[in-house]
Amino acid sequence: MEITVNNSTTATTLVTVFAELQDGRFVAKVMGETDVPYTPYFENELDQVIVYIAPDEQQLQAILTALGERRLPFADLQNYGAAGGGTSVIPV
pLDDT digits (tens, 9 = 90+) for 57-73: 999 999 999 999 999 99
| pLDDT attached to residue 60 | 98
CB atoms within 10 A of CB 27: 18
Report long-range pairs for 74-80 (Cβ below 8 Å, ≥24 apart). Answer: 74/18, 74/20, 74/26, 74/47, 74/49, 77/18, 77/49, 77/51, 78/49, 78/51, 80/5, 80/51, 80/53
pLDDT beyond 80 at 22: yes
| pLDDT attached to residue 38 | 87
pLDDT beyond 80 at 12: no
Domain boundaries, the chain: 2-91
pTM of the model: 0.94
- Mapped onto helix, strand or coil, the DSSP state of residue 34 is helix
